[in-house]
Structures are given as C-alpha cells and as structure tokens.
Structure 1
C-alpha cells in the first residue's frame, strides 16, 4: 500500500533579497545533507557516495541558476513568486 502526501513547503511573493534567503538556504541545507552522507559512509566506492556527489554537483548548478534569477529580478525591480510543493510517498520495499 502506498501513501502519498503533499506538503506546501514554500508559497508566496518575495523580494529578490527574501527570495535569496529562502531558496539559497534550502539549497545550502541539501548540499550540507549530502556532504554529511559522503563523510559518514566508510566505503568511498559505495554507490550512495557517488549518488550524493552527483546530487551536490546538481545542487551547486541549481544554486548558480537561482542566483542568476535573483540578480535579474533585483536589477529589473521584479518580485519573485515561489511555489514549492513536496511530494512524500511512503511504501514498503
């Protein structure tokens, strides 16, 4: 039996500076999470390490993209609408 829950993590209209606080904090926390995983796994050839390293690289690229959007919004005097939904699925393996 699968159970799916949806949680609205972020919703609202933000100035560029507040958008930076929200979005870059979320990305930084995920990077920190994956870096901790990498450090705690003893076998560095473990597929979990490779996956975590790949996610860190992806998140760093996302951080660059978000930063560019924030700078563009700031420079053009725009606000940013952010809508972040998290889907949580529970199941037995």
Structure 2
C-alpha cells in the first residue's frame, strides 16, 4: 500500500473573540452544510453515509456549543484566542 501524507496549516494566529467566532464558526457551519448536502443527495434512507453524516452533524453541533462558550468567556474576560488549525491529509492507494 502506497500513501502520501501532508500537513496543511489552515488557521494560525491570535484573534479577538469576534474574529475567532468568524473563523471557527464559519468552518463548522461549512462542514455542517457539507453533511446536510450528503443527506439530501443520498439515494436511500438506510445509506451508511446518511448515518455517518447525521452523527457528524451532532458532533459538530456539540463542538459549536463548546466553541461559542469559549468565545463568550474570552470576550467577557478580555482574552484573545490563539488558534492553530492543522489539517492532516493522507492519500492512500489500496
């Protein structure tokens, strides 16, 4: 099996709570939109992709809640937020 592995720095920096909200909540919203489209495009209700997409949406909702709480805390207590978002990509040929 051959594979290619890369790390891509998607987000890096120190942000105000407002800018942190823009960056992080936009990423989550886009991922939720992606999974909702997978559900809409599925041919069968029992498609495993639908089950996975629904689970991911619930995970993302929980992450959105936690991130929102952190942003509110940072705003209320005068913090900035350091964000390092690295995407790990593997290309696998079977």
TM-score, structure 2 as length reference: 0.97
Q: What is residue 66 of structure 1 aligned with on the other side? A: 67
SS of the equivalent of 2:93 reads coil
Work out the number of aligned pairs and report it. 93
Q: What is residue 7 of structure 2 aligned with on the other side? A: 6
What are structure 1's unaligned runs of at least 5 residues?
A: none
Question: For each residue in 1:21-55, what CA deviation from the matched residue of structure 2 results, as whole angstroms up to 9, or x when unmatched?
Answer: 00000000000000000000010101110000000
Asked if 1:76 corresponds to 2:66, the answer is no
Q: What is residue 52 of structure 1 aligned with on the other side? A: 53
Q: What is residue 31 of structure 1 aligned with on the other side? A: 32
| Runs of 4+ in structure 1 over 6 Å off | none
Question: For each residue in 1:52-82, what CA deviation from the matched residue of structure 2 results, as whole angstroms up to 9, or x when unmatched?
Answer: 0000000001000000000000000000000
What are structure 2's unaligned runs of at least 5 residues?
A: none
CA distance in 2, matches of 1:58, 1:4: 25
TM-score, structure 1 as length reference: 0.98
CA distance in 2, matches of 1:66, 1:44: 31
